[in-house]
Amino acid sequence: MVTPVGTGKDMFWDSLVNGKSGIVPIARFDASQLATRIAGEVRDFDPLNYIDKKEARRMDRYTQFACAGTRIALEDANLEPESVNPERAGIIIGSGVGGIETVENQARVLIEKGPNRISPFFVPMMIANIAAAQIAIAHGFKGPNFTTVTACASSSNSIGEAYKLIRDGEMDVMVTGGSEAPIIPLAMAGFCSMKAMSTRNEEPEKASRPFDIERDGFIMGEGSGILILESLEHALARGAHIYAEVSGYGVTCDAYHITASDPEGEGAAKAMEIAIKHAGLKPADIDYINAHGTSTPVGDISETRAVKKLFGDYAGSVAISSTKSMTGHLLGAAGGIETIICALAIERGQIPPTINYENPDPDCDLNFTPNKSICREVRAAISNSFGFGGHNATVVLTKHER
C-alpha cells in the first residue's frame, strides 16, 4: 500500500493501530481559495524508487501509485512474475477518477497554449484502465486485465471480481485492488461545491470523525492498496505466506440517488448478507467490520442502520472501525487498503480504532472501537465500500487454517 499514513505494510499498520492521522494541510497546490484546505496527502512517495524515470514521466500520479503498490505487493508475496504462467495471471485495478490530474493539466495547456501543445501521452495517461495495463506491461501478466469504476466501491469490486476468476478456476494469480490521486484543484473544488467535505481546516488531524455527532463531511485521500490473490493450491505449492482467505463477495445497487445512500441502508445490508452467505457464514460469525464510514452526516447513519438490519441483536457486539478517520477517503482506492486492513487484523489479532470518536451520535450507537486499537482474535472480517450512484460492495476475509 501507498497511503497518507505510510508506504508499505509495516509503517502503514503501525500508524493505524497507534491512531496516527495522515490528514494535513494541502501542499501539492495553493488551496487557499477552497472551503476545504486539508487532505490525506501521500508525503513519503518517490516514484523513481519503483519506476524507471522515463516511464514515470509518462504516468499519471494514480498510475504511479498503482505500479509502486504492485511492486511492493509482489515483493511482500515473494512472487517472481517469471515463475507464474502468464496466461493464468491477471490484473483488475479499481479507480474512481483515473488520471484526472492529467486531464486538468492538459486542459490548462489547451486553454493557455492551444491544441498543438497537447501531449501525445495525454490519452494513455488519463484513461482509467491504464494502471492495470501498465502493471501487465511491467510484469508480463497476460490474463484478464480491466478496471472497475464504481466510484468509492471501485477497488472492492475489483477484489471481488478477481476472487471470482480464481474461485471459478480460470486464474491462478490476480493482482488487484485500487489506486487514486484526486488531490487536485478541480476535484477538490468539485467536492467542495457539493459541500461533501469537512471544513475543519484548523484541526486537520481531527477533521475526519466517522460516527461522531460533530462530523461534517469526509476528507479526501490518495494512494493505492494492492493485493496478490492466489488459488490456495498455487499459494501452498510455492510456500506463500497467507494472510487470509477471500471467502465471499456481495454486490448490490441502491437504485435510489446519484450521491446519497439509501437512508435505511437496505442495499448495503443486502451486499453484506450476500457476501456472508457466499462465505458459508452467518452474521454472528463476523468478528470485525471495516466500515465504509466516511464521516458524512447521512452516510454514517445509513451504514449503522444497515449493520443493525442484518446483524440484529449481534450488531452491538461486532467490532467496527472506520480507518478513514486516519487515512481520509481514498475514493476508488479505499476498498483496496481497507481489505488489506482486514487481512492484517486477521493475521495480527488487532483491530485499529476509529479516532476522533469523542461525542457519539445517538443514531450511530454501535461498537466503533473508539480512539484506541484493541487486541482480539479475528477469524472473519468484512470490508464495506459504498459509492456514488448507489454501488455497494462487501468483501469477506477469513482466517486461513494452516
Domains of the chain: 2-398 (3.40.47.10)
Catalytic site residue from 67, 329, 342, 391: 329
pLDDT, averaged per 10 consecutive residues of the chain (402 residues), comes to 96 98 98 98 95 97 98 97 97 98 98 98 98 98 98 98 98 98 98 97 98 98 98 97 98 96 96 98 98 97 98 97 98 98 98 97 97 98 98 98 82
The reported pLDDT for the residue numbered 102 is 98
Q: Are 173 and 116 in contact (CB under 8 A)?
A: no
Its sign, for the CA torsion 233, 239, 240, 241, is positive
Catalytic residue chosen out of the listed positions 139, 292, 342, 391: 292
Give the pairing type, strands 391-398 and 245-253.
Answer: antiparallel
Residue 302: per-residue pLDDT: 98
Q: In Å, what is the CA distance from 155 to each residue of 339, 365, 399? A: 9, 28, 21
Phi, psi of 372 (to 5 degrees): -135, 140
What pLDDT score does 143 carry? 98
If you search the block for the grid coordinates 472506520, which residue do you land on?
Answer: 322
Q: Is 126 left (phi over 0), alpha (psi -120 to 50) or beta?
A: alpha
pLDDT of residue 44: 84
User: What are the beta bridge partners of residue 146?
Assistant: 92
* pLDDT for position 372: 98
Tell me the pairing of strands 6-7 and 38-39: unpaired
Measuring CA to CA, which residue among 217, 199, 216, 185 is closest to residue 329?
Answer: 217
Q: What is the pLDDT of residue 391?
A: 98
- Residue 152 annotated among the catalytic residues of the structure: yes
What's the sign of the alpha-carbon dihedral 40, 369, 159, 96? negative
